[in-house]
Amino acid sequence: MHAAWIVKHKPQTLSEVVGNAEAIQKFTEWARSWDKRIPKKRAAFLHGPPGVGKTVCVEALAKDLQMELVEKNASDYRTAEAVQRFAGLASQYGTLFGGSRLVLLDELDGITGTADKGGVGAITEIVKAAQCPVVLVANNAYDPRFSTLRKYCLLVEFKKPTVREVMKHLKKVCVGEEINADEEALKFIAEKSGRDVRSAVNDLQALAQGKKRFVYEDVAWLAERDRKDVIFNVLRTILYSKDSWEAKKAVDAADMDTDMLFQWVYENVPYHLTDPQDLAKAMDALSLADIYRRRIRSTQDWSLLRYVLDFMTAGVAMARERTKPSGWIPFRFPEKIQWMSRTKAEREMQSAIGMKIRRKCHVSSVRAVKEFLPYIRIIFENNPEMAAGIARWLDLDETMVNYLAGRKG
């Protein structure tokens, strides 16, 4: 079994925590002030987004100041009575062995149910009378439930660390794991985690564990996967929602290229609408969408786009009537998109040359590509002199000449 890296590489002292320097300083000063006298605010309330190091800072501070840490969390706050049961912990400064104590009440957002008022009330009472430092942690300190409690606390706001700071921690983890990691790869993970250190470390472990080298190519596919998830979600609503409105909304939200979405729907409909009548209806809707698509292309009248979208979303969604539910069917990547992107540059080049031929030979450019191009190519590959003459006559540019001669460029 491999240990979780968030545990294995957890900061052991405050100096190892990345980001939030100001918050950490404010928090440390408050904790140290207990050495002299009980401060006005007997509790510090650390708040901010998840995974940025709130809990780990309290733990590291206790280690740094050699305090005994008592941790409580959501499951301990179920009722006011449950809270009162550990209230005594905060009522004395010292421990039995003469050290000092720090009481951490973590994950306060987790107080739920009807008991929450009582629970928060009991915590407020603990704070008011605390004889040792009490630290509260929650994502949102401004939740109305905490409005009274908040008055007795020193608020310490934690923010998301910068990408650089998250990367710094990831680098340290990689050193510890003896992984030679590229900056770019770590940067990608830091950004993708939304600067949540916990999930960044988890992602890193999932992707890099067991590797000696960790490079950008190891993570780049994640960007692709996201995109695919979006498309799959849209397809799922189009092919499975009963609600045509929902299907339309899904497409709006996804902000996808219409032609591409059309290919996806077209490719997948037959596998998901297996009843022949349903399929026929869906295909009818798609053919109508296709008619409007073509009309837009020839007239550039983009107001027709909403008909295209309506037919290929709502039209397809409504076709599902008789198809019996079956198990999970994977979505297929449309062949046509792969093919088109692979050959797009080549097709453009061919039709450009076709236009040049048309001008001189008075044939259509399609015919020029089909019937003339293969011969011209043979000449270019075998007879440079004659090729040069043809190039001048047809007025071909350098890239066209290179293409015909089979050279890249």
Ligand X SMILES: Nc1ncnc2c1ncn2[C@@H]1O[C@H](COP(=O)(O)OP(=O)(O)O)[C@@H](O)[C@H]1O
| 168 or 336: CB nearest ligand X | 168
Q: What is the 3-state secondary structure (H, E, C) of the chain?
A: CCCCHHHHCCCCCHHHCCCCHHHHHHHHHHHHHCCCCCCCCCEEEEECCCCCCHHHHHHHHHHHCCCEEEEECHHHCCCHHHHHHCHHHHHCCECCCCCEEEEEECCHHHCCCCCHHHHHHHHHHHHHHCCCCEEEEECCCCCHHHHHHHHCEEEEECCCCCHHHHHHHHHHHHHHCCCEECHHHHHHHHHHCCCCHHHHHHHHHHHHCCCCEECCHHHHHHHHHHHHHHHHHHHHHHHHCCCHHHHHHHHHHHCCCHHHHHHHHHHHHHHHCCCHHHHHHHHHHHHHHHHHHHHHHHHCCHHHHHHHHHHHHHHHHHHCCCCCCCCCCCCCCCHHHHHHHHHHHHHHHHHHHHHHHHHHHCCCHHHHHHHHHHHHHHHHHHCHHHHHHHHHHHCCCHHHHHHHCCCCC
CB of residue 300 to ligand X, shortest distance in Å: 53
- Selected from 41, 42, 160, 169, the binder of ligand X by CB under 6 A is 169
By a kind-dependent CB cut-off of 5 to 8 A, residue 251 interacts, out of Mg ion, ligand X, none, with none
CB of residue 198 to ligand X, shortest distance in Å: 4
| 17 or 149: CB nearest ligand X | 17
| 53 or 133: CB nearest ligand X | 53
32 to 61: interface string for ligand X, x by CB under 6 A: ------------------xxxxxxx-----
Closest residue to ligand X, judged by C-beta, is 53
Contact flag: residue 20 with Mg ion (CB under 5 A): no
| 53 or 315: CB nearest ligand X | 53
The tokens of 132 are what?
A: 């040792």
Contact flag: residue 23 with ligand X (CB under 6 A): no
CB of residue 192 to ligand X, shortest distance in Å: 16
Contact flag: residue 55 with Mg ion (CB under 5 A): yes
- Selected from 118, 133, 161, 354, the binder of ligand X by CB under 6 A is 161
- Selected from 198, 211, 236, 249, the binder of ligand X by CB under 6 A is 198
| 48 or 118: CB nearest ligand X | 48
| 20 or 55: CB nearest Mg ion | 55
Site for ligand X in 334-353 (CB under 6 A): none
Residues near Mg ion (CB under 5 A), total = 1
CB of residue 75 to Mg ion, shortest distance in Å: 14
- Selected from 90, 102, 197, 396, the binder of ligand X by CB under 6 A is 197
For Mg ion, the binding residues (CB under 5 A) are 55
For ligand X, the binding residues (CB under 6 A) are 6, 9-11, 17-19, 50-56, 161, 169, 197-198, 201
